[in-house]
Amino acid sequence: MKHLYDVPAPAKLNLFLHITGRRDDGYHLLQSAMVMVDWCDSLHFELRADGAISREDLRTPLPENDLTIRAARALQAASGTRWGVHIGVEKSIPAQAGMGGGSSDAASCLLALNRLWKLQMPLPRLLKIGLVLGADVPFFLAGRNAWVEGIGEQLTPLDVDPACFLVVKPPHGLPTQTIFSDPALKRDSDVAIISGFAANPREFGRNDMQSIAIRHCPGVSQALDWLAAQGLDGRMTGSGSAVFAWAPANAALDPAVPLGAPAGFEARWCGGLEAHPLSGWAQEMD
């Protein structure tokens, strides 16, 4: 029996993000095209026979009850397994960036523990657990770039041409709740269709949260201005505060460009992923 797993948890970018409404329970209805990129956290799993779930922070200190711990406990409860796990979390994806780092960690945790604990739980069951943990978790579990609707649970696989992105994270983060609770947030965007996005993915739509985020975090505007100075058209991902720009098609990527980001900002070239590194780790059907 293999008692150890070391797995990646990739970040995501929202190529556009529209808010089309709000449910009676307060959840916002979204439309987005989401892609995974090779900016990854690393998670390490060691089987525990005593049933306990523990975590070690290998880089950035995390909250005691972070999404990784919550995912492990939710899977343990849903499966009734007697096994436990010790999890090492090596964070690289910035927090409060709109890049889905916590949700990605949760998804990789569910997929890895499904194997480590030999549960053979099918993907549809993992998706139900994931949605309770966070709106972006099902996207990472499904393992494909996707057209995303509803509150994050409606996923249509989406083929996006391989691309590189210049991603910039300001020094300060943005709590998602700060953006969603702002009364000025636009909540009535027209419903889009996939064919409209596919015709011009680089320029399609906008991020409805971007103008609100700029008011709460001036670093978002600074990052967009810096991208513009590089001749790149920037856009915020998720609820921010990270922004990104598509690299020019067929252009050589200059490794020195991210080094010129404003002081305190984190910037890097990221390659798009066609599939999640753990794609196929859970059966598609019951």
Find the length of the chain.
286
**Do residues 170 and 142 share a domain?**
no
Q: Specify the pairing of strand 53-57 against strand 84-90.
A: parallel
CA distance 71 to 237: 24
Predicted confidence (pLDDT) per residue in 72-124, tens digit? 999 999 999 999 999 999 999 999 999 999 999 999 999 999 999 999 999 99
Residues 6 or more apart from 11 whose CB is under 8 A from it?
A: 36, 37, 39, 40, 93, 99, 100, 101, 104, 167, 270
pLDDT of 2 strictly over 60: no
How high is the mean pLDDT of the chain?
A: 95
Model confidence at 16, pLDDT cuts 50, 70, 90, reads very high
Identify the pLDDT of residue 1: 44
**Residue 254 bears catalytic tag:** no
**Do residues 181 and 115 share a domain?**
no
Model confidence at 251, pLDDT cuts 50, 70, 90, reads confident
Identify the pLDDT of residue 250: 81
Other CB atoms within 10 Å distance of the CB of residue 84: 18
Residues 6 or more apart from 47 whose CB is under 8 A from it?
A: 1, 3, 4, 83, 84, 85, 116, 117
Helix axis angle for 67-79 and 123-133, nearest 10°, is 140
Q: Is residue 282 part of a domain?
A: no
DSSP class of residue 110 equals H
- Per the structure, the count of domains in the chain is 2
Domain that holds residue 252: 164-273
pLDDT of 286 strictly over 80: no
Q: Is residue 180 part of a domain?
A: yes
Mean pLDDT of all residues in 7-17: 98
- Enter the pTM of the model: 0.95
φ/ψ (deg, to 5) at 249: -60, 135
**Do residues 213 and 95 share a domain?**
no
Q: Is residue 69 part of a domain?
A: yes
**Do residues 222 and 263 share a domain?**
yes
**Do residues 132 and 183 share a domain?**
no
Predicted confidence (pLDDT) per residue in 159-188, tens digit? 998 899 999 999 999 999 999 999 999 999
The residue among 105, 126, 157 that closes a domain is 157
Q: Is residue 280 part of a domain?
A: no
Predicted confidence (pLDDT) per residue in 76-86, tens digit? 999 999 999 99
The residue among 157, 179, 204 that closes a domain is 157
**Residue 12 bears catalytic tag:** yes
Identify the pLDDT of residue 162: 86
Identify the pLDDT of residue 19: 97
**Do residues 103 and 220 share a domain?**
no
Q: Is residue 169 part of a domain?
A: yes
Q: Which CATH number fits the domain that encloses residue 137?
A: 3.30.230.10
Q: Is residue 88 part of a domain?
A: yes
**Do residues 126 and 37 share a domain?**
yes
**Residue 208 token pair:** 């409805």
Give the 3-state secondary structure of residue 150: strand
Predicted confidence (pLDDT) per residue in 204-243, tens digit? 999 999 999 999 999 999 999 999 999 999 999 999 999 9
Portion of the chain with pLDDT greater than 90, in percent = 92
Identify the pLDDT of residue 240: 95
**Do residues 127 and 212 share a domain?**
no
Which one of the listed residues 41, 66, 136, 208 is annotated catalytic? 136
**Do residues 150 and 205 share a domain?**
no
Question: Contact, 89 vs 123, CB < 8 A?
Answer: no
Identify the pLDDT of residue 253: 92
**Do residues 113 and 17 share a domain?**
yes
Predicted confidence (pLDDT) per residue in 144-163, tens digit? 999 999 998 899 999 998 89
**Do residues 151 and 233 share a domain?**
no
Q: Is residue 260 part of a domain?
A: yes
**Do residues 241 and 190 share a domain?**
yes
The residue among 133, 157, 181 that closes a domain is 157
Question: Contact, 106 vs 89, CB < 8 A?
Answer: no
Helix axis angle for 123-133 and 101-116, nearest 10°, is 140
Q: Is residue 183 part of a domain?
A: yes
Q: Which CATH number fits the domain that encloses residue 187?
A: 3.30.70.890
